[in-house]
Structure 1
Amino acid sequence: MERIRNKTAWYGTLGLMVCLVLVAVAVFSFQAKQKPRQQPLNVIFILSDDHRYDFMGFMNKVPGLQTPHMDRMAREGAHLQNAFVTTSLCSPSRASILTGQYAHTHTIVDNNAPLPEGLTFFPQYLQKQGYQTGFFGKWHMGNVDDMPQPGFDQWVSFKGQGVYYDPVFNINGKSVQQAKGSYTTDLLTDYTLEWLSKRDKKKPFFAYLSHKGVHAEFQPARRHEGKYKNMPIISPPSMYLTATDSSKVYGQRQEPTGPVNTRDIPEWVRRQRWSWHGVDGMYDGDIKFDDFYRRYNETLMSVDESIGRVLDWLKKEGLDKNTVVIYMGDNGFMFGEHGLIDKRHMYEPSIRVPLLVRGPAVIKPGTKVPQMVMNIDIAPTIMEMAGLPTPENMQGKSFLPILKGQPIPDWRDKVYYEYYWEWAFPQTPTIFGARTDQYKYIFNHGVWDINELYDIKADPEEMNNLIRDPKYQDVAMQLKKDMWNWLEATGGMQIPLKGTDSKRIDHLYRGTY
């Protein structure tokens, strides 16, 4: 009996060993068939200044405009056709990109007040994930300092808006005068590629290349001066809705193709035409509109070349397949729409920005993304590329699944907007608003003026204010309700006023402080 029990136990042990061997062989065979583990994605984020969404060659908006490298990114990657900023102003928009938060949440609502304590920038999360990170260019977020900021191993920046020629850069805390005749856009690209060349090749990288171009006053690289001297100027159809008998004429005038409502143009829009940010009073007459328009496009050329240099370097180094390159503008810019220049307000050329993404590992060439994305989505998207979840304090969403062609059922159906009145530029009031794919509601806050509602599908130039039309009262009321609900739900019911020690000239009353 004992012998039988021993023999049974021996057979049981042998059977267990055979099973374990078979399982091990099966696991090994399964693993051998799997694709090698995906390496962490490298990311290069290129930000331009004041580049509006439709001033790219492939958009066919500006006759003769050449942007071959932006065109290449759209061709080889994705063009996000409806990209928006939550605030059309440099510092608030840049803060939203870095924090994933609305302006009323991070509280950087102007270009002057100092940074609040306790903000976390998304590159800080990347550092903890093992990424090496570098910042190159214009910081200009809440103050005019150029000292290194949290989240970056390498730092190259300058104070405030900077200059186009012969800049002084802060390199890791030390001021360094650049060579005479050097051009800022080229230098920032040089420093970025130099750092990437010397990086630790065992670690993934994130580079933030933040250009001064194309911020006014525009100065193209000398090799591009006069490139567009014969470029035709085509005035947008809304340019002359606020015109008077003394208004100037700019280029070839486009005529409206749909209904026009001149009665319900806000008074602040009419008056701004003759101000610092209007086509008839622009910059106190320091430059003519036609020259202003052409120099903008000439200055843009070096930004496009910078993109090309980055793409070419990645290909040469064999990194182009596993590196995602993102190009974006920090806000839009007006060229005569409603008689205005600059940004700040909620009209389409002000709030829409170019957004291109190239990354062969995740994006099919020629991808077109119609969904509405926002600058607060940049941080969550890059973090997902690095294998990180979206922190709870971020209000944006990752659009990486959309880039991959994967549906997101609960993606937003509207975007919201906020701009806070600035003492230095009092021509534009505080503005809140909501925009869907068809309608836009604009609430002009704190002024005795009219609000605005546009059917942007039927009226893309926003020339027919429907706010008094009885047929659209339900639409206006619903969007207004949505806007206030958004502000309340996200903690935006109080305007985050800030004091500042900066002495800024009030451009409406030149010479007062």
Structure 2
Amino acid sequence: MRILKTTVLFFFCLVLGNAYGNTEPELLKKKKPRNVIFILTDDHRFDYMGFTGKVPWLETPNMDKLAAEGAYLPNTFVTTSLCSPSRASILTGQFSHSHTIVDNQAPDPGNLTYFPQYLEKVGYQTGFFGKWHMGDHGDEPQPGFTHWESFPGQGVYYNPTLNINGKRTKYQDSTYITDLLTEHAVDWLDNRDKKKPFFMYLSHKAVHAGFKPARRHKGKYKGKRIELPATYDQTKTGAYRDLKWPQWVADQRISWHGVDYMYHDNRDIHEMVVDYCETLLGVDESVGTVMEYLKKEGLDESTLVIYMGDNGFSWGEHGLIDKRHFYEESVKVPLLVRCPELFEGGITPEQMVQNIDIGPTVLAEAGVKQPDNMPGVSFIPILTGDTNAPSRKEVFYEYYWEYDFPMTPTVFGMRTDQYKYMKFQGIWDRNELYDLKNDPDEMYNLIADPDKQEIAKSMSIAIYDWLEKTKGMNIPLKKTVKYRFGDYKHRGEH
């Protein structure tokens, strides 16, 4: 317990200031600004890459190369496993209850500062390409980006319309969104002001459901199958009662996010995984195109390249698909980092990293002091082997119940290197505690075990302490008006 209390105390030492900070950047001394490329994908599960071996037939040569020449951080987590809250946490460096974009409908409160705004103010060229999808925002240009290309909401895989710096252009002739965004991003890099540092944010729609691969990749994996997870059948057989899982997990099996009625369809899970993996191939080629450009320009040694997913994705674990829950497959995301000038490649650090660390990491490499309202830390010291630098010993998690997806309750969670604790809100059900070292599949809920009561109590207290110290004891409700399923409008009050 002493270790747990110490790590929690360390975390709170990182949490400073209020929810919103001054946009005037403070420069670090003697720091040369570094070029940075951040590539974000949607719903990309942490282990669905060729080099992990999770899916033996999946080929991702460019991601494999990025990992081999850089680093793969297998213990990377989001603070909320959902598109809009996670993207807001990446851009603000804050928890969902701080930036208040708690779901896919909650509007931007209007007082947020995105970390690229600090880069822009110190002379960076900043380009955004792709999916913004933060709350109910459309495709209009956002602060912090000198160049802007986006689309409203989830967008479409084929024949998209892009808002390019305020002017909308419709693309036809089976234009594929992943290819289009990549082409425009590389063109922007090629036509940039070579005298200024750059930050490029390439934000793909892929691999969000419903999955649509590029035509050249369709059918590549036809007939392939995955090995179903150990917990796939537990809710179906009723064994979840012996394993002490919550009832809501079993009930969700026949819901929108359950394996027996996936997205209210009767498709085979293996066919859906094939579509997912074929769609991922376009993203892998995008990574290769960006890296080829950097090499051609002689920028591949000095540019910091970060590849990440906005949330994970379950493929049958606990009888579930999709995201939102705090199980490993949902909350973990891929994080690949490459910069030969900074660190040697081929490393796989085990330290825990979160999406709120992206802003602090990029700002540190730009020579900008981290704002007080960002509780994250740069993960570069982990990659360079700096043993004296602070590293995260626990992660906290939050997800808020959604009107359109009532199957998943509000959950607050904490994870250490060994234990994971989930506390549910507004539901008459049991909480969950897992020993990850002895039960990596999260199969045996230890919440009722007599010898685990002190651990559960300590982690529950730590969650409340975290929420209290980061001003998260009130759920930030947003006023929305419901007209029909999937159709929200807000009136600006919150």
Q: TM-score, normalised by structure 1?
A: 0.87
Alpha carbons 2:220, 2:278 under 8 Å: kept: yes
1:79 to 72, 80, 92: 72
Determine the structure 1 residue equivalent to 2:26.
Answer: none
Q: Does structure 1 residue 415 correspond to structure 2 residue 408?
A: no
CA deviation after TM superposition for structure 1 residue 228, in Å: 0.8
Alpha carbons 1:380, 1:390 under 8 Å: kept: yes
Question: Where does structure 2 lack aligned partners over 5 or more consecutive residues?
Answer: 1-29, 488-494
Determine the structure 2 residue equivalent to 1:486.
Answer: 466
2:181 to 175, 188, 192: 188
Determine the structure 1 residue equivalent to 2:373.
Answer: 393
2:445 to 430, 446, 465: 465
What are the equivalent positions in structure 2 for 1:284-433 lying under 5 Å apart? 284-285=264-265, 287-408=267-388, 410-433=390-413
Determine the structure 2 residue equivalent to 1:17.
Answer: none
Q: Counterpart amino acid of 1:80?
A: L
Alpha carbons 1:93, 1:375 under 8 Å: kept: yes
Alpha carbons 1:112, 1:502 under 8 Å: kept: no
Q: Counterpart amino acid of 1:114?
A: P
2:93 and 2:438 map into 1 onto residues whose CA distance is 32
Q: Could you tell me the percent identity over the aligned residues?
A: 60
Determine the structure 2 residue equivalent to 1:511.
Answer: none
Bigger radius of gyration: 1
Alpha carbons 1:138, 1:212 under 8 Å: kept: yes
Determine the structure 1 residue equivalent to 2:19.
Answer: none
Over residues 91-113 of structure 1, what are the superposed CA-to-partner deviations in whole Å (9 max), with x where a residue is unaligned?
Answer: 00000000000000000001012
1:174 to 167, 171, 174: 167
2:324 and 2:210 map into 1 onto residues whose CA distance is 17
Alpha carbons 1:56, 1:65 under 8 Å: kept: yes
What are the equivalent positions in structure 2 for 1:158-173 lying under 5 Å apart? 158-173=151-166
2:391 and 2:295 map into 1 onto residues whose CA distance is 34
Q: Counterpart amino acid of 1:476?
A: A
CA deviation after TM superposition for structure 1 residue 367, in Å: 2.1
Alpha carbons 1:402, 1:408 under 8 Å: kept: no
Report SS of the residue matched to 1:58: helix
Alpha carbons 1:423, 1:506 under 8 Å: kept: no
CA-based RMSD of the aligned residues comes to 1.6
Report SS of the residue matched to 1:304: helix
CA deviation after TM superposition for structure 1 residue 38, in Å: 7.4
CA deviation after TM superposition for structure 1 residue 435, in Å: 0.3
Alpha carbons 1:53, 1:352 under 8 Å: kept: yes
Alpha carbons 1:56, 1:70 under 8 Å: kept: yes
2:376 and 2:476 map into 1 onto residues whose CA distance is 20
CA deviation after TM superposition for structure 1 residue 286, in Å: 5.4
CA deviation after TM superposition for structure 1 residue 413, in Å: 1.1
Alpha carbons 1:185, 1:213 under 8 Å: kept: yes
1:144 and 1:228 map into 2 onto residues whose CA distance is 36
Q: Does structure 1 residue 139 correspond to structure 2 residue 124?
A: no
1:286 and 1:184 map into 2 onto residues whose CA distance is 27
Q: 1:504 to 1:431 in 2, by over 3 A?
A: farther
CA deviation after TM superposition for structure 1 residue 39, in Å: 4.7
Q: Does structure 1 residue 274 correspond to structure 2 residue 254?
A: yes
Q: Does structure 1 residue 69 correspond to structure 2 residue 69?
A: no
Determine the structure 2 residue equivalent to 1:50.
Answer: 43
Determine the structure 1 residue equivalent to 2:82.
Answer: 89
Q: Counterpart amino acid of 2:285?
A: E
Over residues 314-352 of structure 1, what are the superposed CA-to-partner deviations in whole Å (9 max), with x where a residue is unaligned?
Answer: 001111111111000000000000000010010000000
2:380 and 2:221 map into 1 onto residues whose CA distance is 37
2:177 and 2:390 map into 1 onto residues whose CA distance is 42
CA deviation after TM superposition for structure 1 residue 288, in Å: 2.6
Q: Does structure 1 residue 198 correspond to structure 2 residue 191?
A: yes
Q: Counterpart amino acid of 1:274?
A: I
Q: TM-score, normalised by structure 2?
A: 0.90
Relative to structure 2, which stretch is displaced further, 384-393 or 236-245? 236-245
Determine the structure 1 residue equivalent to 2:119.
Answer: 126
Over residues 409-454 of structure 1, what are the superposed CA-to-partner deviations in whole Å (9 max), with x where a residue is unaligned?
Answer: 5422110000000001100000001000000001111100000000
2:486 and 2:327 map into 1 onto residues whose CA distance is 24
The count of corresponding residues between Structure 1 and Structure 2 is 458
2:247 and 2:486 map into 1 onto residues whose CA distance is 21
CA deviation after TM superposition for structure 1 residue 504, in Å: 5.5
Q: Does structure 1 residue 227 correspond to structure 2 residue 207?
A: no
Report SS of the residue matched to 1:208: strand
Q: 1:468 to 1:304 in 2, by over 3 A?
A: same
